[in-house]
Amino acid sequence: MPIIETVHPYSPKTAEALTKAVIRAATQLGITQSEFCTIVDMSTAQASRLWNQKYKLTTSNSSEWERSVLFFRIFRSLDSIVGNSEDAQMWLRGDNRAFGCPPIERIKSIEGLVKVVNYLDASRGSV
């Protein structure tokens, strides 16, 4: 009988998976390390270590963790709506009447991050 390994919500495996996922998402969305720092409220030194796989996101820094989860949700929603990195980048950096600015600017605050996630979730529900 095969052994099934359970991954708990905040296990080291979950932290490693989220770390890899947000780096991949940022890369595909054309997000710079500097922009990522602002989005998830992380220092530039931490972002550099994150990109070099010498630092992992953890729940011990709940703000950084939660913002990273929201950021990844934006990536997943955009991927399901537009289907490719180029269009996702254009959407993220293009003017948006719903936000009054490009979404990349809106997601640099926690309030904006939540609004963009909710907007995309609502848009995705109607697709």
Per-residue model confidence as pLDDT tens digits over 94-105? 999 999 999 999
What pLDDT shows up at residue 58?
A: 86
CA 58 remoteness from chain centre: 15
Helix (H, G, I), strand (E, B) or coil at 103: helix
Q: Is 47 in contact with 36 (CB distance < 8 Å)?
A: yes
- The mean pLDDT of the chain is 89
The Cα-based distances of 33 to 3, 10, 42 in angstroms read: 39, 24, 10
Given this model, what pLDDT does residue 82 score?
A: 92
Q: How many CB atoms lie within 10 A of CB 80?
A: 12
Q: Is pLDDT above 80 for 47?
A: yes
pLDDT at 40: 94
Rg (CA), the chain: 15
Q: At what angle do helices 33-40 and 12-28 cross, to 10 degrees?
A: 130
**10 or 123: whose pLDDT is higher?**
123
Instruction: Look at residue 126 and tell me whether its pLDDT is greater than 80.
Output: no
What confidence tens digit (pLDDT) does each residue in 62-87 have? 889 999 999 999 999 999 999 899 99
Whole-angstrom distance, CA of residue 87 vs CA of residue 121: 17
